[in-house]
Structure 1
Amino acid sequence: MQQPENVILFPKWRNVLEEESLAALKARRFEEALEKLNKLLSYQVNSYEIISGKLICLIELGRYKEAQEICEDVLQQKDKYYYHYLHIYLTVLFQTNQYDLLMEQVEEEFEKQELPAVLKEQFDQLYEMSSKMKADVVVEHTTAYLDDLEQAIAAKDYQKQWRLIEELRRTKSEPTRNVLALLAADNIHPVIKTAIIVWLQDIEYEETVEIHKWGKNIQLKPQAIGDIHNHALAREILLLISDLEQKNPTLHELLKQLLYHYIYVRFPILPANKEAESIATALKAIGTKYLNIHDRLGKEQQNINDYIEEIEQCETLYSSVIEES
């Protein structure tokens, strides 16, 4: 527990604690050294020697998370020991395989152009090593994910398939021919095909792919079909239901969710923009039914039954694969 700020540590006792902590540190008795250093820190004795000593103890004891938090805290102070702490921080990131964060931090330091020459070469080496290690990890993980994906497809485990594809997308892995072939396969869930297409868009895949979906066969370049979150059809439908945002926010949010799920399942084979009004009406019919709101549609209801059926089918397909919190 930290002592009140007005409690002062007697110089003699402070000197004893500092000497004992240093002796324990040199003798690699890190638990003992950490205990004494924490005692000093509780009395606001927070010199560079004390803090760096504690960081060494934490790293040697494998308590990297605590060391990282302390580094991130002291780096905010930007005092004369900034680069000493920064070097320790980068070491912690490297030891814990946080290569992206390490590389990002080094890039920021290089951009400032204030890095001492003596450190630049060390940071360059850390950056290169991190880049290589990151690439190795991606290759290793990609192989494992692809093997697991093959097994998940054989087992028809759609949720696992989706999670694995999301991991492959997150790591920006390159798709194999077997993965691309899934887009044209009859036995692959439409949600899984959408996930693959989004993955291809994320990595800016430039080749033409063949897709069999929603009863149609098409060939296209993933980069040419636009962002699933910003499709023209979705924008038009959102405009048609925008009046509900003020009138009934709960209904509006539900319709937005239903619309996104519908677009996601069908993507990239979507209805024509001229069907936006009918789809918007169908969404309202489904939403009012889900929320037990009485809304008379009359003849309009009869004209949108096919859309209602399709949207509800897409909702079932989406929720069978993707679990949202």
Structure 2
Amino acid sequence: MSNTNNIILFPTLRNELEKAERESFELIHQQDYEQALEKLKFLLTHQISTYEIHISKLICLIKLNQLTDAEQFCENLLTDYNDSHYYDYLDYYIMILYETNKFPYIIDLINAEEKRSTIPDNFRKKFRDLYRLAYQMNSARSDELIAELHGAVKEDNHHRQWYIINKWKELNIDPPEMFLNLLKEKEIHPAIKTQIIELLIDSNFKSSVMVEKFGENHSIELKKLQKVSEHPIYLNTLQQLQNLEQENPTLYIQVKELLYQFSYIQYPKFYPTSDIIDVKNALILLGNENLSLPYGEMTNKNKVHDYVDLIKLSNELYLTICLD
């Protein structure tokens, strides 16, 4: 009988579990992976957990093309670095990642493992070979995306540009020179420029970049720039809206979304700190308007209404691309 993790079993249940274990292995031999998997799940539910059962379940999940479940099961098995079968599970995990085209994850994972510990000789070469293959596939994918992006820019297809740059993020490699050039192009959607700037920040890009937005050119030092949701003016404005969360949660959700969309489109430019209250009032006014709610008197009416117009424009631009 397999390891029961010190659980006391009644004879009837013990016999049932022993039978399920035998049958699961027989079903795998007969290539009936669906039935075998049910038997193995039954065993694991009763905490009958051994290396043979773990590997058998992985084989079933892979054969049934349930790769997401196989990936998650491997991740659970890999939480214990001291498990004597750790590298066997890691081997399966890397192969599953390869099958699902998650090449950046393989690169990062193997790099991390090599830093964490000495990989045993019987796995080291295989892991390095898989690393090289993943790196080659990742590089090939980056070349494909750059070519696709050139086409999307030529066609002025903003939605396609947005999609491609999101796909680039998954590669986890440095942005190409082309991204810097797009920041200066008037025809590029402002949301895409924000997307590129935040990608550059995530990539620890330290140099200054030139950004064109709404006819203005800005020279930006990325090492000093926070992302939209981390910018002090954004956070201060959000803080000014906190009371709404208790008073009117629906309105709060509305104005919070409007603030983010407004900031995302205008970024990296922000309104001055002295205008935070005016922006807050504009957001609440527009939120009430969207929800058909009344709104009382305010100061600085002209400035507030100017911000209402700017927020509306930013909201329209955001929704044309980011939520499509």
| Fold conserved between structures, TM > 0.5 | yes
Q: 2:231 and 2:64 mapped to 1: Cα distance?
A: 52
- In structure 1, give the amino acid aligned to 2:291: L
Please give the alpha-carbon distance, in whole angstroms, between the structure 2 residues aligned to 1:304 and 1:139. Answer: 49
Q: What are the residue-to-residue correspondences of 1:194-273 with 2, within 5 Å?
A: 194-273=194-273
1:321 offset after TM fit, Å?
0.9
Q: Quickly say closer, same or farther: Cα 1:56–1:213, change in 2 above 3 A.
A: closer
Aligned to 2:138, the other structure's residue is in SS state helix
Partners in 1 of 2:284 and 2:38 — Cα distance?
65
Give the deviation of 1:123 after TM superposition: 3.4
Matched, 1:291 2:298: no
**AA at the equivalent of 1:161:** Q
TM-score scaled by structure 2? 0.76
Return closer, same or farther for 1:192/1:17 CA change in 2, 3 Å cut-off.
closer
Q: How far apart in 2 are the matches of 1:188 and 1:211?
A: 11
| Structure 1 equivalent of residue 13 of structure 2 | 6
Cα distance in 2 for residues equivalent to 1:186 and 1:39: 58
Contact 1:232 1:273 in 2 (8 A): no
1:160 partnered with 2:160: yes
> Which residue number in structure 2 is paired with residue 190 of structure 1?
190
Deviates more, 1:169-178 or 1:71-80: 71-80
Is the 1:228–1:264 Cα contact (8 Å) retained in structure 2? yes
Contact 2:104 2:171 in 1 (8 A): no
Q: Which runs of 5+ in 2 are unaligned?
A: 1-11
Contact 1:14 1:40 in 2 (8 A): yes
SS of equivalent residue, structure 1 residue 243: helix
1:221, distance to aligned residue in structure 2 (A): 2.5
* Shift in Å, 1:124: 2.8
Q: 1:317 is matched with which residue?
A: 317
* 1:1-325 equivalences in 2 (<5 Å): 6=13, 8=15, 21=26, 25=29, 31=31, 34=33, 52=55, 55-56=58-59, 59=62, 64=67, 68=71, 71=74, 84-99=88-103, 101=105, 120-297=120-297, 300-323=300-323
Task: Work out whether residues 7 and 43 of structure 1, in 8 Å CA contact, stay in contact via their aligned partners in 2.
Answer: no
Name which one, 1 or 2, has greater alpha-carbon Rg. 1
* Amino acid aligned to 2:294: H
Change (3 A) 1:310 1:120: same
Q: CA RMSD in A?
A: 3.9
Deviation per residue, 1:143-174 (Å, 9 max, x gap)? 22122222222222212211211222332343
State how far apart, in whole Å, the 2-side matches of 1:308 and 1:102 are.
Answer: 47
Distance 1:250 1:111, change over 3 A: same
Q: Is the 8 A contact 2:110 2:131 kept in 1?
A: no
Contact conserved, 2:103 with 2:135, CA < 8 A, in 1? no
Asked whether the 8 Å contact 2:97–2:106 carries over to 1, the reply is yes
CA-CA distance at 1:195 after TM superposition: 1.2
Structure 2 distance, partners of 1:10, 1:199, is 52
**Higher mean C-alpha displacement, 57-66 vs 125-134:** 57-66
Pick closer, same or farther for the CA change 1:221–1:109 going to 2, 3 Å.
closer
> 1:244–1:252: 8 Å Cα contact kept in structure 2?
yes
Bigger drift between 68-77 and 288-297 goes to: 68-77
- TM-superposed CA distance for 1:47, in Å, is 6.7
Q: Normalising to structure 1: TM-score of the pair? A: 0.76
Q: Secondary structure at the match of 1:322?
A: coil
Most deviating of 71-80 and 200-209: 71-80
Whether contact under 8 Å (1:40, 1:46) holds in the other structure is: no
CA distance in structure 2 between the aligned counterparts of 1:10 and 1:159, rounded to whole angstroms: 54
- Residue 296 of structure 1 and its aligned partner are, at CA, apart by 2.1
Cα deviations by residue, 1:29-86 (Å, 9 ceiling, x for unpaired)? x526x47856975885987556645655765676655655665566679876565445
5+ long unaligned stretches in structure 1? none
Cα distance in 2, alignment partners of residues 54 and 311 from structure 1: 53
Distance (whole Å) between structure 2 residues aligned to residue 137 and residue 177 of structure 1: 20
Mark the CA change 1:186 to 1:126 in structure 2 (over 3 Å): closer, same or farther: same
Partners of 1:8 and 1:141 lie apart in 2 by 52
- Partner Cα separation in structure 2 for residue 15 and residue 299 of structure 1: 75
Check whether the contact 1:255–1:284 (CA below 8 A) recurs between aligned residues.
yes
CA separation in 1, counterparts of 2:130 and 2:54? Answer: 26
Distance 1:308 1:31, change over 3 A: same
Return the offset for 1:309: 0.6
Residues 186 and 215, structure 2, Cα contact 8 Å, conserved in 1: no
